[in-house]
Amino acid sequence: MAITKEFNVPVDSEHKAMKLNVFSFDRPHHLSFHMSWLGFFISFVSTFAAAPMIPVIREDLGLTKPQLGNAGLAAVTGTIICRVLMGTVCDLIGPRLGLSVILLATAPFCFAMAMVQGFEGFLICRLGIGLGLATFVACQFWMSCMFNSKCVGLANATAAGWGNLGGGVTQFLMPGIYAICYSATNSRAFTAWRWAYIFPGMCHTVVGLMVMYLGQDLPDGNYKVLTTSGALEKKSSMKVNLIGMKNYRMWCMVATYGFCFGVELTMNNIVAGYLFDQFGVSLSVAGVLASCYGMMNLFARSVGGIISDWSSNRFGMRGRLWTLWSTQTLEGVLCIFMGLSKDNLGATIAFMVFFSICVQASEGASYGIVPFISRRALGVVSGFIGAGGNAGATIATAAFFTKDSIETYEGLQYLGYTVIGVTALVIPIHFPMWGSMFFPASKTATEEDYYIHNEFTPEEIKAGLAAPVQKFCNNSRNERPVWKREQDAVEASA
């Protein structure tokens, strides 16, 4: 693809878009936006396609509750390593190829689901399909490369939110496709659910090819072209990984993201079955009601990103941190109340909807912070934090939703308490030049100290490898606290 030199949106010195227009398909910023969320959306549809059809699949394959729980675990656990690797892939060859290849590689598992005959085959297919959730890392990395700090929270949140929407859409889409296949196969339920899996497999293939041939890695072109020309640093995977892993802020966010995105993954696996078993509603009704949880992604994750960007404009990075802590703590409280409403379907749905809004908003607020943890190791940081979401889902599912001794409504309450406790890890996240929730910024620390002198050696700086990062430092000064911005304005006018 030819390098894009002219842009139809205002851009900064890195050629990142200064605003997000979701109705635009202009190259490179907005077409990449749509390619990224669509790829992530399809992976969500396929990963959780089994959830709304579990009653039929359970009967066909003779699955027990522990087996269903383990299959659900496989769907979200396998991608933990894959997400970590995807971060490195994005740093080395770019998000476009990373996203397209993982979609194409997981498509065969969707088609293979039509042929499973027992628990082992079902487990392997759910594991393989779930690897596609690594598209999230490429999605968020891509948006962080395309959009300026003033709207990166919104861009990340909207792309991820619309992608996560697949978890809600699949709750009624797959039962609908199942119903069509059921009619076409003369009321043979055990054949219909298998045919239904052809649809997500086809979507993986088509969208994977679209991303590969229509997307663009960076505002100025694709990774291969830019690294060949010398315009982009050829990164060492070992060095970049070490930079990311030595940053304690990343590990705090790994844990906190594990109990917002991880909670969403867990709920996508259990909520339809919970409503079906606890309240005796039909399969189709359970699917529609369960879809309400995922459908909040249509706006809620974007709301988290908007609030994060707004609070940053008012209070700097400290505002972003307070936003994350507030929304995620409220998420835990509402999760507890959903479990306590076990005897009232209306109350359960009401708490579920507000609980979902807080979950998605917390995810959006999280990725308003992630792009600032490291510049040089952005892909690694995004990969580890994204993997934390799947690790959180694994822990939550294994601890609270696979044991016969724990009822699902009890598991929801335990999960809520865990969310509140883990969210406290936002408190120690401190940026020297911007501060933290309770402690102010250093009066002498600068963005250059953090992003350049902390991540590059003197030899690398002398060789010019840090030059592109200087632009990022300049563009991220808006994360400074108000007093520091006012001081900058006075000095600039002097």
In a domain, 79, yes or no: yes
Could you give the CA distance from residue 469 to residue 225 in angstroms, rounded to a whole number? 19
Task: Give tens-digit pLDDT for 243-256.
Answer: 999 999 999 999 99
In a domain, 265, yes or no: yes
pTM of the entire structure? Answer: 0.82
Are the C-beta atoms of residues 153 and 308 closer than 8 Å to each other? yes
pLDDT, mean over the chain: 90
Are the C-beta atoms of residues 91 and 377 closer than 8 Å to each other? yes
pLDDT for position 234:
67
> Do 382 and 252 belong to one domain?
yes
> Do 84 and 207 belong to one domain?
yes
Domain boundary at 426, 456, 475, which? 426
pLDDT for position 177:
92
In a domain, 12, yes or no: no
Q: Is the pLDDT of residue 110 over 90?
A: yes
Residue 170 lies in domain: 29-426
Q: Is the pLDDT of residue 1 over 60?
A: no
> Do 347 and 400 belong to one domain?
yes
- Of 183-192, 422-431, 433-442, 457-466, give the lowest mean pLDDT range: 183-192
- Of 141-145, 325-329, 483-487, give the lowest mean pLDDT range: 483-487
Task: Give tens-digit pLDDT for 336-354.
Answer: 999 999 999 999 999 999 9
> Do 283 and 366 belong to one domain?
yes
> Do 248 and 133 belong to one domain?
yes
pLDDT for position 493:
75
CA atoms within 13 A on the CB side of 20: 24
Task: Give tens-digit pLDDT for 174-229.
Answer: 989 998 988 887 767 688 899 999 999 999 999 999 999 999 998 988 877 777 76
Mean of pLDDT values over 148-158: 88
CATH number of the domain within which 71 lies: 1.20.1250.20
> Do 378 and 489 belong to one domain?
no
Task: Give tens-digit pLDDT for 436-448.
Answer: 999 999 989 999 9
What does the DSSP 8-state code read for residue 215? -
Mean of pLDDT values over 16-40: 94
Concatenated DSSP letters of 465-484: TTHHHHHHHHHTGGGS-HHH
From the CB of residue 101, how many other CB atoms can be counted at a distance below 10 Å? 17
Concatenated DSSP letters of 217-286: SBTTB-HHHHHHHTSS----HHHHHHHHHT-HHHHHHHHHHHTTHHHHHHHHHHHHHHHHHHH---HHHH
Give the chain's domain count. Answer: 2
In a domain, 422, yes or no: yes
> Do 339 and 459 belong to one domain?
no
> Do 422 and 451 belong to one domain?
no
In a domain, 18, yes or no: no
